[in-house]
Chain A
Amino acid sequence: MILPDSVQDIKSRQLSASSVSSAASCWRGVKRALPIVLGYVPIGFAYGVLAGKSGLSEANTLLMSLIVFAGSAQFIAVGLFAGGTGPAAVILTTFVVNLRHMLMAASLAPYLSGWKKRYLAFFSYELTDETFALHSAAAGKLNECRLEALSLNLTAQVSWVLGTALGIIASGLIGDIKPLGLDYALAAMFIGLLVGQCESPVRVITAILSGIIATLLYLAGWHQFHIIVATIAGATLGLGVELWIRR
C-alpha cells in the first residue's frame, strides 16, 4: 500500500519539478531577450509609422512583421513600395538582403543536434540578426536549452509585432518621423550589434574590410547586392588574415 503511494508522490514531485524548471527556462529566455525588446519596440514602431506613411494598409503592415520578420528587409520593402517598385523586384531584393540568414542558420545548426524537426522549423522562423547574435554568443548550450532559446525568439518577435502595432496607431498622429530620430533606429541597432561581435582583432578587421567593400559597391551603383557580396568578400578576407596570423 505504501509503495504505490510513494511512487505516485515521487512522480508528482518530478512532474512539478519539471514544470517549474520549464517555466524557469522560458523566463530565462524572456529575460535574455529584453535588450532586443528594448531595441525592437522603437524600431518596429518606426517601421509601423513609415509603412503607414508609405501607403501600406494596416493589415499588410502588421502581416509583414508577422510572416517576414526581418527588420532591414521590411524597411527596404516599404521604401520600394512607396517608390512603386513591382512585386518581382521587391521579392528578389528581400531574398538578397535576407540571404545572410542562410549563413547564420548554417553556423548555428551544428549546435542543434538533439532538436526535433518542428522545433528547428520554429527556431529558424525567428532567426534574425539580433536573436542570432545572442544565440551565437551562447551556442554551446543551445542543445540543452531548447525552451529558453525558443522563448527568447518568441519574445523578440512579439515585441517586434507590438512595436509595429504601436507604430500603425501612431502613424496617423505623427506628421514626420525625422524630428524623433526614428529613421536612425536601425543604424543604431546595427552599431550595438556590431560592437558586440567585435571581440577579436580579426573580427574588427573583417568588419572594416566588409564595410569598405560595401561602401565602394554601393557607390558603384549596387544598391542591394552590395550587402551579400561585401559579406562574402569581407568574411573571406578576414579568414585569410586569421590563417595568416595563425601561421
Chain B
Amino acid sequence: MDQTLIFWTIIGMAVVTYLPRLLPTLFLSGKTLRPIFASWLRLVPPAVLAAMLVPSLLVRENSVDISFGNLFFWAALIAFPVAWKWHSLAATVVVGMGLVALGRYLCWGM
C-alpha cells in the first residue's frame, strides 16, 4: 500500500482511538456512577483481557486446537502460574516468549 495512504489511515486510527478514551474521561470526571453500572465497569478489565487472549491461545486455523502442537496454549499453561506466583508482568512476558522460542528451537510446534 502507498505510504501516504497508510499515513492518512494512521491519522484516522488515531482519531477513532482517542475519542473513546477522551469523551468518557471528560464527561464523567467527578460524577458518581450508579452502583450497578460501577460494578459492571469493574468487571470490564478481566472480560476484555480474556476476550482478546483466549481465542489467540486456543484457535488455530479456525478450530480449537489444544493438541501438543499448539505451542501458544502450552506456553500459556506455564505462563499463568508464573504470573500468579510472581505478580510480575515482565517475568510473565519474558518466560512466555522464552518458552515459545525454546519450543521452536526444539522443533516442538508452530
Contact = CB atoms under 8 A, between A and B. Distances in A.
A35 B1 CA distance: 36
B47 A238 contact: yes
Contact of B97 (A182, A207, A209): A182
Contacts of A68: 10, 13-14, 17
Chain B's interface: helix, strand, loop or mixed, by majority?
Answer: helix
**Interface size range of chain B in the complex:** 35 or more
Nearest to B16: A95
Contacts of A183: 100
Interface residues of A, number: 105
A173 interface: no
Contacts of A211: 50-51, 53-55
A188 B95 contact: yes
Contacts of B80: 191, 195
A26 interface: no
Interface of A: 35-36, 38-39, 42-43, 55-57, 59-60, 63-64, 67-70, 72-73, 77, 81, 84, 87, 90-92, 94-95, 98-110, 112-115, 117, 120-121, 123-125, 127, 129-130, 132-133, 136, 178-198, 202-204, 206-215, 218-219, 226-228, 230-232, 234-236, 238-239, 242
Interface of B: 1, 3, 5-14, 16-18, 20-33, 36, 38-59, 62-64, 72, 75-76, 79-80, 83-84, 87-102, 104-105
25 contacts: A36-B89, A70-B17, A101-B20, A107-B33, A112-B25, A113-B30, A120-B29, A124-B25, A181-B96, A187-B57, A188-B79, A188-B95, A191-B79, A192-B88, A194-B49, A206-B50, A207-B46, A207-B49, A214-B52, A215-B64, A219-B63, A232-B47, A234-B43, A235-B47, A242-B43
